[in-house]
Amino acid sequence: MKKVFQSPGKYIQGKGELSKLGEYISVYSNKAVLIIDGFIFDNYEEQIRQSCKIENLNIKYERFTGECSKVEIDRIINASNDMKDIVIVGIGGGKTLDTAKAVAYYTQSPVIIVPTMASTDAPCSALSVIYTQKGEFSEYLFLKSNPDMVIMDTDIIKNAPSRFLASGMGDALATYFEARATANSNSNSIAGGKATKTAIALAKLCYETLLEDGYKAKQAVENHVCTKAVENIIEANTLLSGVGFESGGLAAAHAIHNGLTAIEQTHKYFHGEKVAFGTLVQLVLENESMEEINKVLEFCESVGLPITLSDIGISEIKEEEIMNVAKLSCDVNETIHNMPFEVDCEQVYAAILAADSLGKNFKIEKMNLDIKLQVPFIRKQDHYQY
């Protein structure tokens, strides 16, 4: 049996790591092209320039224009044509990083990835998602290898809005359940072989870390501070989930996410938010125990992740729309067919509605419990007033 495990060459996480960027680049070359988000460039330019100056590096700065498109990739390749033996560095959000990976792929250069938030599991993977200039999905670019280095500066990530961190937790939530389903069906992972024990163990650790530290981390980041829980969640969202999904496998949760994107109202919700609801639907498809489902519902509620259709913008349920989501989720190329049993669109349709109902009831029960807990307090207040 062929098993495959892949991962980034090096993962570095810590306070102020961006200021050591020059040192990290110099491991590979003294020349680099930096592709940077405008916001980051405006706020951290001095820090980046200083660290590259100390190492005497020859750097070309390219401000990312906002779309990971073939046009943008070609623009940066052309701009770096006069430099040889370069390192490509991407600093910013997912699309900036995907552009950097694609430029490195075409110029056959090493690539350093510096995410400025922990909102998805994409940074560590050997994959770029290419869009048209209008922002529509165009193609997946499968890279020859994972990034040479991934650097997470906790100082920058703690300052990003907490919704990004929560969204990353939604993406990471699916990792264990999808890897478990892929292993149970003996399907191949994205890495192109069966999952190793290593990948499954990392996916499980990812889920356990979310349950243990998710709520605490969300609270800390709301105050823009970094605690041990925040550090653990950054690692879970980026490294554990990144390696877990790529070498462990995807299944129903991500396929349902992809189907949900056909409904326009969901577009303002992040990838990880829709994946969280997709995870709940997968658990219903699997007919998991209420104990497991409640654990996931409780976790999602505690960090502000969606558990109902209306939480992802679908306030009016239209049968044909949901059926369309189910059909798209069951496309022949979708990862839903990594589930350990046959799945058809009728089952997915049913699971979406049942998951929505479980989410709604969970909210009602929680609200009732909150009211009950408040009653003695209100009475006590009344007593003092009269």
Q: Which is nearer to Zn ion, 51 or 182 (CB)?
A: 182
Q: Tell me if residue 370 falls in helix, strand or coil.
A: helix
Q: How far is the CB of 177 from Zn ion (least distance, A)?
A: 12
Q: Does 311 bind Zn ion (CB under 5 A)?
A: no
Q: Which is nearer to Zn ion, 94 or 304 (CB)?
A: 94
- What are the distances in angstroms from CA 151 to CA 111, 165, 305? 11, 16, 26
The dihedral through the CA atoms of 243, 248, 251, 253 has a sign that is negative
Q: How far is the CB of 314 from Zn ion (least distance, A)?
A: 20
Nearest to 288 by CA among 358, 238, 199: 358
Q: How far is the CB of 241 from Zn ion (least distance, A)?
A: 8
Q: Tell me if residue 308 falls in helix, strand or coil.
A: coil
Stretch of 39-47, 140-148, 150-158, 163-171 lying at the interface with Zn ion (CB under 5 A): 163-171
Stretch of 51-59, 148-156, 167-175, 350-358 lying at the interface with Zn ion (CB under 5 A): 167-175
257 is catalytic: yes
Q: How far is the CB of 120 from Zn ion (least distance, A)?
A: 6
Q: Which is nearer to Zn ion, 62 or 171 (CB)?
A: 171
337 is catalytic: no
Which residues are within 8 A (CB) of 333 and not within 5 positions of it... i.e. 6 or more apart? none
Q: Does 273 bind Zn ion (CB under 5 A)?
A: no
| 8-state DSSP, 193 | S
Q: Which is nearer to Zn ion, 80 or 237 (CB)?
A: 237
Site for Zn ion in 64-103 (CB under 5 A): none
Name beta bridge partners: 60.
Answer: 33
171 is catalytic: yes
Residue whose beta carbon is closest to Zn ion? 171
Which residues are within 8 A (CB) of 127 and not within 5 positions of it... i.e. 6 or more apart? 101, 140, 141, 142, 143, 190, 246
Q: Does 171 bind Zn ion (CB under 5 A)?
A: yes
Residue tagged active-site, from 171, 213, 311, 356 = 171
Q: How far is the CB of 278 from Zn ion (least distance, A)?
A: 9
Q: How far is CA 222 from the centre of its chain?
A: 19
d(CA 67, CA 128): 12
Q: How far is the CB of 229 from Zn ion (least distance, A)?
A: 22
Q: Which is nearer to Zn ion, 98 or 171 (CB)?
A: 171
| 8-state DSSP, 196 | P
Which residues are within 8 A (CB) of 41 and not within 5 positions of it... i.e. 6 or more apart? 61, 63
271 is catalytic: yes
Site for Zn ion in 189-228 (CB under 5 A): none
The residues of the shown chain that bind Zn ion, judged by CB under 5 A, are 171
Q: Which residues participate in catalysis according to the annotation?
A: 171, 254, 257, 271
